[in-house]
Structure 1
């Protein structure tokens, strides 16, 4: 693992996900094999290491944010779009926590999305944001599949327990089921929604797999070694997936309606 401490010139970026987006790190230790940020990150860096094998730490991020919040209009800040703000290195650097302290002091709103239960460390801060929310990305309830696709993320059951703890503390919560992994995320979508509802999620986002350049080759290589029978089905669905996603959306909507769970489809 290559870890570099780097200087950034700006931090608060305009975003379609919220008013602003903040990425305290470049790269991500969770090493999710489906991550769209892999190809995007390489467009702006010189990294040649495998995804999950490098992280640049924006060591001056708190100082930069302190300057920017004094000159930019207030709004909601999303953490994060191209990295996980609570990947393991956050235990050492505390960048995300220090950024939250600044945003709270300057009365910004926050939306956090993570695969890590380390976010519970900052519950004391997060619950003080009037409009704060925390979401967990969950693509499967099967922890063996989780280990295959997102090897260094927190176990699924622990994420659901953490979500429940935030909910119990009065923090708005959500789950992001994205990307939908054919024959994995949809194996028991009814059970998935029941577990999310039981954990206390206020709403759930759903999104399809985003095949950025080179991603299918990486996925196909991993499937060939572990789930070779899925390759043809995945290839068909990902290239001509209209009927598959239409049917899945109908199933999700029906069960979610029965559970009173608010669903938002990104496709």
Structure 2
């Protein structure tokens, strides 16, 4: 196993204005991520940080001056973990995400936290103090062998157990089914497994670009050779028919099990104990246009 290169760095304001439609500020207590997901879109960050190391092999631990006047973030949407996992294994030692939450406690800021870890259970009591807090776990398979091929994060069962603990504690939770691997991700099985312990189920397809496209295509050729023609059609020929078909199939399945299937996230306004809503965020415009027609008043506001 490659040794992780860890540096501690000083940084300015830890909260950055964001263009993401899900938040007003993005917060990343680390640069890089040691979960080393093979499909990680955040690997593009190396262009801006000067890192030449392979993505997943380095981590910069941020230190910042204590947040002044945290109450100015009252009512603001803060997304923690847009380009890192704030609960990577090193968080247990460095506690930078914990420090961030402690500095913001009582501010009235609204938190959304994205992770693949159950280390977040350490901070459950603290996260509960924030209004409208929400935590999402990325789960794109129930097959631990495939999971282990794709990332170094904790097992799917540990993620699901953490999700359940937060849900039972009254914190809104999201099952983030992403990225959906064509022919591999069993979306319906994941929905059935998670629907009793989450408020939102978010669907996002695998989008191959940049340096990791070759990594994934080579993996498919090696482990799922029978799927290679499908991946060639989707990612080389830009054929969108698979996603169109899957969209229709999942919409029908949602109706069958009694869940709303929409293109915008209104889960925060629903009763906590209501069944989860399924939000489809496949990136291509054809499906989004179709979904707008089907859903009438629903407008696509999901993040990219």
**TM-score under structure 2 length normalisation:** 0.80
* 1: CA distance, partners of 2:223 / 2:245: 27
Select which of 250, 253, 256 maps to 2:248.
250
Q: What per-residue deviation string (whole Å, max 9, x for no partner) do you get for residues 162-205 of structure 1?
A: 111111000011111111111111xx33222111113x111111
- 1:132 is displaced (CA, Å) by 0.5
Unaligned runs of 5+ in 1: none
Q: What is the Cα-based RMSD across aligned positions, in Å?
A: 1.8
Q: Does 1:30 align with 2:35?
A: yes
Q: What per-residue deviation string (whole Å, max 9, x for no partner) do you get for residues 45-86 of structure 1?
A: 2211111101111122xx25x137366675011111000000
Question: Secondary structure in 2 aligned to 1:67?
Answer: coil
Q: Does 1:101 align with 2:102?
A: yes
Q: Does 1:265 align with 2:280?
A: yes
- 1:221 is displaced (CA, Å) by 2.7
Higher relative contact order (CA 8 A, sep 6+): 1
Question: Secondary structure in 1 aligned to 2:246?
Answer: helix
Structure 1 residues 70-109: aligned runs within 5 Å: 74-109=75-110
- 1:142 is displaced (CA, Å) by 0.9
* 1: CA distance, partners of 2:206 / 2:230: 14
Question: Secondary structure in 2 aligned to 1:13?
Answer: strand
Question: Secondary structure in 2 aligned to 1:139?
Answer: coil
Of 107-116 and 203-212, more deviation after overlay is shown by 203-212
Unaligned runs of 5+ in 2: 260-275, 283-304
Deviating beyond 4 angstroms after TM superposition, the runs of 4 or more aligned structure 1 residues are 70-74
| Residue pair 2:178, 2:205 contacting (<8 A) in 1 also | yes
- Aligned partner of 2:12 in structure 1 is 9
**TM-score under structure 1 length normalisation:** 0.91
